[in-house]
């Protein structure tokens, strides 16, 4: 954790607006923790080799004819009857040679851009939940209001570096949902946006919306990634139609794909960490290869999301020692490739309690110590991804902000020799000059922690962290940081959506 760090003034939330601001830049983090290995170097090589063997000998089932054609053109052995594609290791090696090791994600403002390379730490909230829950409104199928509110909340925290589709707005029809979600992202945030890969028409709509809203030429848009998608393989060894289309469409457009097999050990992956990572690695390599066949040099992010199931019930589990180990092992595989990579925290609790806090933090530490470039599901994700808790979003941010603090330089940190001489034995440092000069900015100021004593806390209503978090997200939604959206861009976006909606939108591919 030594060495100089890029520092700029961050915009911290949660109080202290009138106090002198601590100059800690949460927007651009480099991971200060040396990556922790879980396998020997030989073992990492063996897993990589076994994964290449899986692709070469067993192959992937690829449901999209166009993807099979691309693999075939690249030299794969393809059987259209069985849809099986056997991918030679030379093809994988060529793909790894052309995939960029470092690239910059272009957000709506330059200081929101995100560098993608090994060593960077990028934190993200949860993604993909069909339900939302909070202490005021209860648990419900997620709707567009939830999606918009959670986008606003994501915008308020510099420790969240990209937008995520926290929830599925189920009240918006699928042929129109991509308009509503992207409009929310572009008009409520200037962070790097995400598009679900649900078929070419929706994806092309999205590219067009972003290009025009950002005021880019076609060439500008194609030159750098302005949005991303996450492609999950259908483990084991299957790539479905929308996911294959996503790999191809994003690669051709020069936009970032994160290829993440979701491998639950004992369910859709082998029961051992090494076995699950062999499968996960093979599938990620298959996806990365397809992106490079579609467009050599396309920005792609290696992904791994492996945890275990409860072998009594088959239920997914997170925050387990097995997930931590899988995270650490995946980091070793990513470093072997040299690519930026995405990992994940996770939580299977049904409420924002001690279990929930334990699981998300434990798995987040696993991802951080694994050297993950992107840590997904870092805030709000509960029920194994079936719900997002507004309160957990806030309490998890305390963890993420703590990680962000640990990425920063220590504040000017002298040995305080004068103060040590000034304060008498048994005395205190509250009033000494050394303290007075620094106290206002010396320490991280918490978002939701309450450090008052039991008596004061009881008198103030004995509110637990979740209850306090409710007040925080309500206040942030009532008074979010202002965002400068050019009116003509917003109007053009509205007009585009109205026109495309009148045309019937774009039904999803399934």
**Residues of span 277-336 touching a second copy by CB under 8 A:** 278-279, 308, 310-311, 313-317, 319-322, 324-325, 328
**What's the min distance (Å) between Cβ of 350 and a second copy?**
4
Q: Does 393 engage in binding with a second copy (CB under 8 A)?
A: no
What is the layout of strands, in order, in the sheet containing 300-303?
29-30, 120-123, 374-376, 341-344, 300-303, 256-259, 228-231
**What's the min distance (Å) between Cβ of 324 and a second copy?**
6
**What's the min distance (Å) between Cβ of 192 and a second copy?**
26
Angle at the Cα of 153 from the Cα atoms of 501 and 409, rounded to 5 degrees: 130
**What's the min distance (Å) between Cβ of 417 and a second copy?**
6
By C-beta, is 420 or 481 nearer to a second copy?
420
Residue 275, helix vs strand vs coil: helix
Residues pairing with 121 in the sheet: 29
Judged by CB under 8 A, which of 122, 185, 255, 387 binds a second copy?
387
Dihedrals phi, psi of 339, to nearest 5 degrees? -95, 150
By C-beta, is 124 or 391 nearer to a second copy?
391
Stretch that binds a second copy, among 90-98, 102-110, 211-219, 380-388 (CB under 8 A): 380-388
Judged by CB under 8 A, which of 73, 77, 272, 494 binds a second copy?
272
Judged by CB under 8 A, which of 135, 174, 222, 274 binds a second copy?
274
**What's the min distance (Å) between Cβ of 241 and a second copy?**
13
DSSP annotation of 34 = P
The single residue listed with the structure tokens 């920005």 is 299
DSSP line for 92-145: HHHHHHHS-S-EEE--SSGGG-EEESTTEEEE-----BSEEEETTTEEEE--HH
Beta-sheet strands, E only, within 177-222: none
Judged by CB under 8 A, which of 378, 466, 476, 500 binds a second copy?
466
Q: Does 50 engage in binding with a second copy (CB under 8 A)?
A: yes
What totals of helices (H) and strands (E) does the chain contain, helices first? 17, 19
| Contacts with 390 (C-beta within 8 Å, 6 or more apart), sequence order | 132, 133, 134, 135, 149, 150, 153, 380, 469, 470, 473
Q: Does 372 engage in binding with a second copy (CB under 8 A)?
A: no
Q: Does 273 engage in binding with a second copy (CB under 8 A)?
A: yes
Residues 128-187 that bind a second copy (CB under 8 A): 139
Q: Does 14 engage in binding with a second copy (CB under 8 A)?
A: no
Stretch that binds a second copy, among 105-113, 185-193, 266-274, 490-498 (CB under 8 A): 266-274
The CA distance from 288 to 96, in Å, is: 8
Query: Rg of the chain's alpha carbons, rounded to an integer?
Result: 23
The CA distance from 505 to 23, in Å, is: 46
Stretch that binds a second copy, among 100-108, 217-225, 265-273, 477-485 (CB under 8 A): 265-273
DSSP annotation of 200 = H
Residues 408-447 that bind a second copy (CB under 8 A): 410-417, 419-421, 423-430, 434-435, 438-440, 442-444, 446
Neighbour tally for 411: CB within 10 Å: 13
Judged by CB under 8 A, which of 87, 203, 356, 367 binds a second copy?
356
**Exposed (0-12), middle (13-18) or buried (19+): which is 15, by Cβ within 10 Å?**
exposed
**Would strands 387-389 and 381-382 be described as parallel, antiparallel, or unpaired?**
antiparallel
Residues 19-38 that bind a second copy (CB under 8 A): 32-34, 36-38
Residue 480, helix vs strand vs coil: coil
The CA distance from 208 to 225, in Å, is: 13
**What's the min distance (Å) between Cβ of 444 and a second copy?**
5
**What's the min distance (Å) between Cβ of 191 and a second copy?**
23
Judged by CB under 8 A, which of 56, 134, 383, 509 binds a second copy?
383
**What's the min distance (Å) between Cβ of 481 and a second copy?**
23
Residues 191-220 that bind a second copy (CB under 8 A): none
Residues pairing with 264 in the sheet: 307
**Exposed (0-12), middle (13-18) or buried (19+): which is 219, by Cβ within 10 Å?**
exposed
Judged by CB under 8 A, which of 184, 247, 286, 448 binds a second copy?
448
Spatial contact of 303 and 373, defined as CB atoms under 8 Å apart: no
Tell me how many residues contact a second copy (CB under 8 A): 123
The CA distance from 116 to 287, in Å, is: 18
**What's the min distance (Å) between Cβ of 41 and a second copy?**
9
The CA distance from 498 to 435, in Å, is: 59
**What's the min distance (Å) between Cβ of 173 and a second copy?**
25
**What's the min distance (Å) between Cβ of 117 and a second copy?**
21
Residues 58-87 that bind a second copy (CB under 8 A): 58, 60-61, 84
**What's the min distance (Å) between Cβ of 40 and a second copy?**
5
By C-beta, is 20 or 487 nearer to a second copy?
20
Neighbour tally for 144: CB within 10 Å: 17
By C-beta, is 183 or 405 nearer to a second copy?
405
The CA distance from 164 to 152, in Å, is: 11
By C-beta, is 112 or 131 nearer to a second copy?
131
Q: Which two tokens stand for residue 321?
A: 């020692």
């Amino acid at each position: 954790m030594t060495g100089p760090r890029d520092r700029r003034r961050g915009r911290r939330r949660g109080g202290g607006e009138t106090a002198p601001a601590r100059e800690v830049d949460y927007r651009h983090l480099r991971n200060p923790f040396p990556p922790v290995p879980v396998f020997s170097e030989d073992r990492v090589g063996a897993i990589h080799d076994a994964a290449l063997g899986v692709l070469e000998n067993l192959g992937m089932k690829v449901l999209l004819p166009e993807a099979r054609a691309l693999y075939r053109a690249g030299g794969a052995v393809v059987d259209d009857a069985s849809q099986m594609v056997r991918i030679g290791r030379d093809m994988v090696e060529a793909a790894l040679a052309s995939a960029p090791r470092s690239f910059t994600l272009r957000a709506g403002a330059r200081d929101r851009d995100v560098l993608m390379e090994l060593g960077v730490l990028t934190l993200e909230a949860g993604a993909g939940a069909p339900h939302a829950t909070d202490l005021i409104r209860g648990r419900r199928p997620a709707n567009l209001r939830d999606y918009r509110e959670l986008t606003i909340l994501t915008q308020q925290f510099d420790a969240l570096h990209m937008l995520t589709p926290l929830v599925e707005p189920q009240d918006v029809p699928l042929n129109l949902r991509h308009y509503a979600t992207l409009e929310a992202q572009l008009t409520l945030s200037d962070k790097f946006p995400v598009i679900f890969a649900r078929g070419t028409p929706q994806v092309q709509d999205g590219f067009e919306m972003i290009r025009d809203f950002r005021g880019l030429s076609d060439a500008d848009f194609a030159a750098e990634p302005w949005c991303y998608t996450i492609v999950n393989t259908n483990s084991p060894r299957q790539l479905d139609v929308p996911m294959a289309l996503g790999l191809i469409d994003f690669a051709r457009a020069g936009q970032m794909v994160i290829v993440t097999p979701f491998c639950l050990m004992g369910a859709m992956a082998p029961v051992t960490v090494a076995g699950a990572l062999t499968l996960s690695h093979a599938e990620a390599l298959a996806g990365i290869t397809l992106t490079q066949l579609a467009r050599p040099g396309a920005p792609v992010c290696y992904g791994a999301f492996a945890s275990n199931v409860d072998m009594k019930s088959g239920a997914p589990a997170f925050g387990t020692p097995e997930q931590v180990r899988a995270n650490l092992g995946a980091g070793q595989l990513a470093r072997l490739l040299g690519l930026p990579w995405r990992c994940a925290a996770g939580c299977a609790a049904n409420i924002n309690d001690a279990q929930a806090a334990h699981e998300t933090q434990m798995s987040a530490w696993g991802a951080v110590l694994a050297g993950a470039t992107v840590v997904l599901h870092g805030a709000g994700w509960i029920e194994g991804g079936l719900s997002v808790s507004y309160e957990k979003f806030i309490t998890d941010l305390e963890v993420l902000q703590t990680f962000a603090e640990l990425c920063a330089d220590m504040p000017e940190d002298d040995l305080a020799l004068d103060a040590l001489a000034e304060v008498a034995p048994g005395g205190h440092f509250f009033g000494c000059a050394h303290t007075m000069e620094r106290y206002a900015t010396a320490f991280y100021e918490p978002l939701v922690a309450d450090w008052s004593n039991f008596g004061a806390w009881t008198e103030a209503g004995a509110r637990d962290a979740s209850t306090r978090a409710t007040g925080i997200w309500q206040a942030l939604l009532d008074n979010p940081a202002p965002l400068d959206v050019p009116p003509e861009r917003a109007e053009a976006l509205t007009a585009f959506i109205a026109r495309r909606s009148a045309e019937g939108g774009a039904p999803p591919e399934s």
